[in-house]
Amino acid sequence: MTQMMAMPRVQTCTVSGCGYNHDGCTAFAITIGRASSECDTFIDTADKGGMGQAEAQVGACKRAECVHNTELECHAPSIMVGAGVDRADCLTFEAQ
């Protein structure tokens, strides 16, 4: 049986308009997008979603050119999400 790797945590998210952000990201896991490391899980809504506690992980990353990315999986110890090119970008992204 293959052992699951521990997924990196979303250490901080400063995006106040996201339905998953209530004092931190409460999604079970997020996906980082391709264009500008945007958080594909971001949703601009006043509705509240998520697990109720801030323990989100990075489930997938589409930025293959990031130094932390191996086979579309993030291997950074943790990530930060906040305003970048978009309202919600992975601020931990680092080009190879």
**Half-sphere exposure for 74 (CA within 13 Å, toward CB):** 26
Whole-angstrom CA distances from 84 to 3, 9, 12, 63, 89 are 34, 19, 14, 15, 6
Query: Cβ atoms within 10 A of the Cβ of 94, count?
Result: 14
Per-residue pLDDT of the chain (96 residues), as tens digits, is 344 568 999 999 999 999 999 999 999 999 999 989 999 999 999 999 999 999 999 999 999 999 999 999 999 999 999 999 999 999 999 999
* pTM for the full predicted model: 0.91
Q: What are phi and psi of 12, to 5 degrees?
A: -145, 150
